[in-house]
Amino acid sequence: MAKDTFFCPKRTLNLRGKIMNLSSPIVMGIINITPDSFYDGGKFQSNWQVVKHAEQLLSEGAAILDLGAASTRPGAGLVSATEERERLLPVIKGILRRFPEAILSIDTYNSETAIMAIEEGAHMINDISAGNIDPAMFDTIARLQVPYIMMHMQGTPASMQQNPVYKDLIKEISAFFAERINQLNQMGVNDIIIDPGFGFGKTIEHNYQLLNQLDFFRTFDLPVLVGVSRKSMINRVLGTTPDEALNGTTVLNAIALEKGVSMLRVHDVRQAMEAVKIVEMLKSQSEIH
């Protein structure tokens, strides 16, 4: 086995009876149905446009579609569960009507939204706040028994980038995850994915330190998700805009894959899938030799 890969016994997710194999990295395609997301806000004005975009992402190899109805860009305010559900419900119905086998993740910090989405056929919940914004989220996940992506974030989207400070970045993020994983395990939740939260309450330097030490998170024996797609940690180094950041995104995705992550959350699925194939080929050769 390659020395820099995760020793990760958690190789599967139970998605409402569908077993997803994580022995090779998978790609999650982002669909933002928000007016103000940092890259694609307002891009999809109709349900038909969303379904067409879902078709494209699935055709390019997305294993999961991540649907978000509340922007989490720096400075964004919180969105009510009612508004979120009104945006999400027709989209979930539309995608599953057209693609009944599609695996849907719902990017939400509201437990009420999580309940509605799972009842409508979604398969997993992606919570940027790891239960901090809505204290009912952990109980909800335990009751729903669906996979749960929990992300580390210092502060809230409205405040997280004002002055993020850590005494020991990796140690603090690890302690955060350890406490919450233990809490969820005690509640009977075992399908957990951890997301270190690039750009969420972190400076540019923090983000690159986190990327450099990603393999530290192997200690949790859980799948790790990385979402760096078109973010400012690329643009501030390269002097690019989100529209110009695809090449930088691919570079960071390849580095994350080399460090053993299980999932890439991206706007551009085809390019991420190509990164997966190349890094997997590289690792297969190191195992042979």
- Residue with token string 């945006």: 87
The C-alpha atoms of residue 165 and residue 145 are separated, in whole angstroms, by 35
Paired tokens of 67: 């649907």
Residue type, 189: V
The C-alpha atoms of residue 233 and residue 140 are separated, in whole angstroms, by 33
By C-alpha distance, which of 65, 60, 59 is closest to 15? Answer: 65
Paired tokens of 105: 């993740």
- Residue with token string 């919570």: 127
The verdict on whether 265 is a catalytic residue reads yes
By C-alpha distance, which of 14, 17, 48, 44 is closest to 31? Answer: 44
SS3 content of the chain, % helix, strand, coil (to 5): 45, 15, 40
| Cβ atoms < 10 Å from Cβ of 180 | 19
Exposure string (b/e) for 19-35, b if CB count within 10 Å is 16 or more?
Answer: ebebeebbbbbbbbbbe
The verdict on whether 97 is a catalytic residue reads no
Q: Which residues pair with 204 in a beta bridge?
A: none
Which among 87, 180, 230, 231 is annotated as catalytic?
231
Which among 87, 180, 230, 265 is annotated as catalytic?
265
The C-alpha atoms of residue 11 and residue 22 are separated, in whole angstroms, by 5
Strands (E), the chain: 12-15, 18-21, 26-32, 64-68, 104-107, 124-127, 148-151, 192-195, 225-226, 263-266
What DSSP character marks residue 104? E
Give the catalytic positions in this structure. 231, 265
